[in-house]
Structure 1
Amino acid sequence: MADVTRRTLELLAQLQTGRRFSGKELAARLETSPRTLRRDVERLREYGYPVSTQPGPSGFYRLAAGQTLPPLVLDDDEAVATLVGLTLLGATAPREPLDGNGFAPAADRAFGKLDQFLPHRLRPAVVALRETVEAAPQNAPAVRPEALAILGTAAAWHEYLTFTYLDRDGHTSHRRVEPYRTIYLHLRWYLLAWDVRAVDWRTFRLDRIDEIVPTASHFTPRPLPARSGAEYLRAGLSAGRHRAVVTIETAAAAVADVLKFQDCEIESQGPDRCRLIVQVDSFHWLILQVGLIGAEFAIEEPAEFRDLAAQLAQRLNRAAESRPTS
């Protein structure tokens, strides 16, 4: 009986990833036979888990959406990750936005409800985490969870949306778009979409979007304008900024700690060496930040940045060699 319970819980854990599994793949993962797999699937259905199947060569098993939420199956690490994630979400959202319907109140409610879904052995850890884990509040624009859900659903189903948009200058416009991705960057939520009237790609701040209306009209998806929505957004936000590449003779973690609020790439090249790729408004700011890390570094590009470093070095040398006049 213990083996059956263990196997059923493992099957449920696999299905709760949201993926579609072929019977052959799922049986291999569980190290069981297709016949036993079918019995275990029926057992899950009896417990109230809506497992859908499609027969045939391209058939699959998938955990479908049901009318109620069955008990969650979380191991220790998953439970901790869920609780910490809810804590961070609550800290990066306004506490009382949007008539109490923002992410922070929802995260608090979900945090409190987890206890009833967890096994008894995990409850002491849950209580300890809830009482001791804190995340410092950070200012972020308010975004409605239901707005994010509508945008995500429309993007997944390739459905046109209309909404009103308030730009940075305070002007409101009516938009009709093909939604593709919602992106979280620098405590801001963005929508990457094809603007039908502009006939071009656009990114929209979610906190400036209002009156979202699904149209029940569908579009044929087009290729993204970059490898990912985040890459396209970063390129747009970096327009007009300066790119610099620096090799630093220290661990990547040390550089990440100094530049923790900067959008940059830090490539580890060993325990005591890394490569920094960053877009900045000012090379003067960057040379000070890199110089204060306290490690040797080499500027790969651009030449303008190297020239600035040389000028600053000369100025600092003159300052160090100067003597006060009496």
Structure 2
Amino acid sequence: MAETTSRVLSLLALLQTHRQWSGPELARRLEVTERTLRRDVDRLRELGYSVEATRGAAGGYRLEAGSQLPPLLLTDDEAVTMAIGLRLAAGLGLADGETTTLSALAKFEQVLPAALRQRVAALTGHLQPATPRGAEVSTELLGQLALACRDTERIRFHYVAGGGLESDRVVEPHSLVASNGHWFFVAWDRQRDAWRTFRVDRMSRFFGTRVHFEQRDLPAADAAEFVAVAVGSIAPRLEAAVVMQLPLDTMREYFGAWAEGAVAAGPGETRWPFGGRSYEEMLGALAWIPAGVDYAIVDNPGFAAFASEAGARMARAGVS
């Protein structure tokens, strides 16, 4: 009996970490026959878990939402992570976040072993959400988006851009990022054939397609960096551009995500737009241009004069 219980719990853990498993693969991982696997699936169903089974080459087993919430199987690290997430979620702009997350946390921590409660208290005592409260978003929508990211499932939704333009999008999800007081959804936009960020509070009429895809490489170190670049380029207070003596492909390879907006300006030349909240901030962008590459500042004579004067001061400072 103990061996059977342990195996059923292992089966539950596998079903919770992957969208769908084929029968042969589950049986192989559990080291049982497919007949034994079917019996273990029936035991999970008796415990309240809704396990869907489909036939055919693309079939398999998947854990579906049921009529009631069954017990969850968590490792110690997963339990600590969940408790910390609940504590931080109250300040991240979730609809009814303070009420629902704190009540859920109270129930969750009540059953945590003392050692795990101490870990949670120690960690959250030194954690501060980097994002202030912004526009409220639906926790249900965040959950749906997170699952779509996990399962690499293509989705559709309605979107209202900052200027009020409405559109229906079909995207391949990548990540969710909290930044600048908002939740952002990073995805490959199939209509635009490019990576895009979407404010979650501006999304509606979401539904999944059950069409899966191969994840693409994000043109940044991680999703947080990609959002930082995208958000910073939405409405800079000041703008300028440089034309550098560097082919566009070479420039994009060197700049990565920061090459957003760059276009070919001629044979072996690239025009790169950038912006910032001040001339001093914009000056830092010029440091990205590789050493030995000539460039000219265009579209902002005021910034060009500022950069020239700053360069002269730095040159004087370097003279001993």
- TM-score, normalising length from structure 1? 0.58
Aligned-partner Cα distance in 2 for 1:186–1:162:
19
Question: CA-to-partner distance for each residue in 1:201-224, whole Å, 9 max, x for gaps?
Answer: 8644334x3xx6529899x99999
Match for residue 158 of structure 2? 161
**Alignment counterpart, residue 135 of structure 2, candidates 113, 118, 142:** 142
Contact 2:146/2:176 (8 A) holds in 1: no
SS in 2 for 1:7: helix
- C-alpha distance in 1, partners of 2:143/2:179? 22
C-alpha separation in 2, matches of 1:280 and 1:302: 21
Say whether residues 1:111 and 2:113 are aligned partners. Answer: no
Q: Which residue identity is paired with 1:161?
A: H
Matching of residue 124 in structure 1 with residue 124 in structure 2: no
Using the alignment, how far apart are the partners of 2:109 and 2:11 within structure 1? 23
Q: Report the CA distance between 1:113 and its aligned residue.
A: 2.5
Deviation at 1:67, TM superposition (A): 1.1
8 Å contact from structure 1 (residues 159, 178) kept in 2: yes
Tell me the distance in 2 between the aligned counterparts of 1:223 and 1:15. Answer: 21
Give how far 1:49 is off. 0.8
| Deviation sequence 1:99-139 (CA, Å, 0-9, x none) | xx3444433233222246x5xxx421343345443222542
Aligned AA (2:200): L
Output the CA distance in 2 between the equivalents of 1:310 and 1:18.
59
Provide the residue aligned with 2:302 in structure 1: none
Q: CA deviation at 1:159?
A: 3.8
Deviation at 1:33, TM superposition (A): 1.7
Which ranges in structure 2 are unaligned for 5 or more consecutive residues? 234-238, 243-256, 259-273, 295-307
Is the contact made by 1:179 and 1:191 (CA closer than 8 Å) also made in structure 2? no
For residues 47-196 of structure 1, the aligned pairs below 5 Å read: 47-91=47-91, 93=92, 101-115=95-109, 118=111, 122-129=112-119, 131-132=121-122, 133-134=124-125, 135-138=127-130, 139-146=132-139, 148-149=141-142, 152=145, 158-161=155-158, 163=160, 165=161, 167=162, 173=164, 175-180=166-171, 181=173, 183-184=176-177, 186-187=179-180, 188-191=182-185
Number of equivalent positions: 254
> Counterpart in 2 of 1:301?
290
Provide the secondary structure at the position in 2 that maps to 1:16.
helix
Unmatched runs of 5 consecutive residues or more in structure 1: 244-262, 265-278, 289-298, 319-326
Change (3 A) 1:4 1:70: same
Which SS does the other structure have where 1:189 is aligned? strand
What is the CA RMSD across the aligned residues, in angstroms? Answer: 4.9
How far apart, CA to CA, are the structure 2 residues paired with 1:50 and 1:175?
37
Residues 123, 142 of structure 1: alpha-carbon distance in 2 compared, 3 angstrom cutoff: farther
Is residue 2:11 matched to residue 1:11? yes
Q: Hey, what does 2:317 align to over in structure 1? A: 315
Provide the secondary structure at the position in 2 that maps to 1:73: coil
1:15 Cα offset (Å)? 0.5
After TM superposition, the score normalised by the length of structure 2 is 0.59
